[in-house]
Amino acid sequence: MKDQEQLLKEFQEKIDREEKIEPKDWMPEEYRKTLIRQISQHAHSEVVGMLPEGNWITRAPNLRRKAILLAKIQDEAGHGLYLYSAAETLGIDRDTLIDELLSGKAKYSSIFNYPALTWADMGAIGWLVDGAAIVNQVALCRTSYGPYARAMVRICKEESFHQRQGYEILLALCRGNAAQKKMAQDSLNRWWWPSLMMFGPSDKNSAHTAHSMNWKIKRFTNDELRQKFVDMTVPQANVLGIKIPDDKLQWNEQRGHYDFGEINWEEFNHVVKGNGPCNRQRLDDRRKAHEEGQWVRDAAMAYAEKRSNKIA
Ligand code: FAQ
C-alpha cells in the first residue's frame, strides 16, 4: 500500500500535469474540504442571488423585460443545482449544505446583502455582478476538480448572456431622459464598490489563496481577478456615459492597468459577518421559501419511492 507521502506526491504531480481530479480519485482531506467550502458557498450565492432580482419581477417595466428577468432568475436556480450536485460528489449531502445556509453558518457572496432599490439596479446587477462573477468563473472553468470545472463551463455561457442583458438595460436608461440617466448613475454609485468586494479580501489577507493556487482550485488570486474586472469595466462605463465613483481611478501607462482607490474593508467585513443592509432579510426569505417548498420535496420523494418500488 502507498504511504500518505507518496499519495500526496502523485496527487500534486497529476495537478501539475493539468489532469483533472475526479470524485473517486484519492485526494488530501484539505483539498476535499476546501472544495466543499468554496463550491457550497458558490451554490448558496447563486440561490440567495435570486432574491434581489426576484424583488423586481412584478415591477419590471414591460412584459419583455419581465420575461427576460424571470428566465435569468431561473438560470440562477439552475446554477445552484449544478453546484450543489458538484459538491455532493465530494461526499457531502445537499440537506447538510442547505441546513448550514439556513442556520447562518455558511457564507454566501457579500454582494447579495445589498438592496435592489430601482429598476436600474437590475441593469447594474447584470452588468457588474454577473460581470464580476464571469471574470471569476471563466478562470474556474480550468479548476483542477473535474465536476466543478464542467459545471462552470455551462454556467459561464449563461452568465455572459446575463451580463449583456444587464448592460442593455443600462444602455436603454442612459439613452433615455435625464431622470433615467440619473437612475443609471445612482445604481452604478451603489453597486460599484460592493462588486469589487465580490473578489474577496486582498491577497495579503486571503486565508485560502496560497493553498488553492497550489492545488489549481484557483487560477488567479483575488487581486488579479479584481484588476481584470476593473480593466474590463471602465471602457464599458465610458460607452454608457456614466462615471465610476472613484476619484483615484486612472489609467497607469507603466502598469498597463487602471489604478483604483482603496476598498472599504471594514464595510466588507461587516457584511460578511452578517451585518449588511439585507443579511437578515435574505436569510428569513430563504428560510420561508424552504419551508414553503417542503410539500414539493415530499411529493418528489413519494414519487421516486413509488417508481423504485415498481421497478423492483
Ligand atoms: N463574500 O481566503 P479567501 C454570482 C470569505 S456567484 C462573502 O480569499 P477563497 C452569480 C471566504 O469565503 C458569486 N465571503 O477565500 C450571480 C473565506 O471565508 P471562510 C459567488 C467572502 O475562497 C450573479 C474568507 O472570506 N461566486 O454572483 C467573500 O480562497 C447575479 C477568506 O477569503 C463564487 O462563489 C465575499 N465576497 O476566495 C447570481 C465564486 N470573499 O470560508 C445572481 C467561487 C471571500 O474561510 C445574480 N468562489 N469571502 O469562512 C471563489 O472564487 C472564492 O471562494 C472567492 C474567495 C474568490 C469568493
Rounded distance, CA 143 to CA 117, Å? 35
- For 42-89, the pLDDT digits (tens) are 999 999 999 999 999 999 999 999 999 999 999 999 999 999 999 999
**121 Cβ below 6 A of ligand 1:** no
pLDDT at 1 over 90: no
- For 260-298, the pLDDT digits (tens) are 999 999 999 999 999 999 999 999 999 999 999 999 999
Which amino acid, residue 53? E
The atom number, within ligand 1, closest to the CA of 208 reads 2
Give the predicted TM-score (pTM) of the model: 0.96
- Which residue's alpha carbon is nearest to atom 52 within ligand 1? 38
- Which residue's alpha carbon is nearest to atom 30 within ligand 1? 130
pLDDT band at 227 (very low <50, low <70, confident <90, very high): very high
- Which residue's alpha carbon is nearest to atom 11 within ligand 1? 200
CB-neighbour burial class of residue 120 (10 A; exposed 0-12, middle 13-18, buried 19+):
buried
The atom number, within ligand 1, closest to the CA of 108 reads 7
**197 Cβ below 6 A of ligand 1:** yes
- Which residue's alpha carbon is nearest to atom 18 within ligand 1? 107
CB-neighbour burial class of residue 126 (10 A; exposed 0-12, middle 13-18, buried 19+):
buried
Cell numbers found for residue 80: 445552484
* Mean predicted confidence (pLDDT) in 227-249: 98
* Mean predicted confidence (pLDDT) in 18-31: 97
More confident call, 7 vs 312: 7
**212 Cβ below 6 A of ligand 1:** yes
pLDDT band at 19 (very low <50, low <70, confident <90, very high): very high
Q: Mean pLDDT over all residues of the chain?
A: 97
Residues 111 and 195: beta-carbon distance below 8 Å: yes
pLDDT at 216 over 70: yes
Give pLDDT, residue 237.
Answer: 98
**42 Cβ below 6 A of ligand 1:** yes
- In the chain, the percentage of residues whose pLDDT exceeds 70 is 100
* Mean predicted confidence (pLDDT) in 302-310: 90
For ligand 1, the distance from its centroid to the CA atom of residue 202, given in whole angstroms, is 12
**110 Cβ below 6 A of ligand 1:** yes
Give pLDDT, residue 311.
Answer: 76
Q: Hey, CA dihedral for 269, 118, 125, 246, is it positive or negative?
A: negative
**138 Cβ below 6 A of ligand 1:** no
| Strand 257-259 relative to strand 250-252, pairing | antiparallel
Residues 21 and 27: beta-carbon distance below 8 Å: yes
* Mean predicted confidence (pLDDT) in 179-207: 98
Q: Of 108, 133, 134, 130, nearest to 38 (Cα)?
A: 108
- The distance from CA 307 to its chain's CA centroid, rounded to whole angstroms, is 36
Residue given cell 451554490 in the structure block: 43
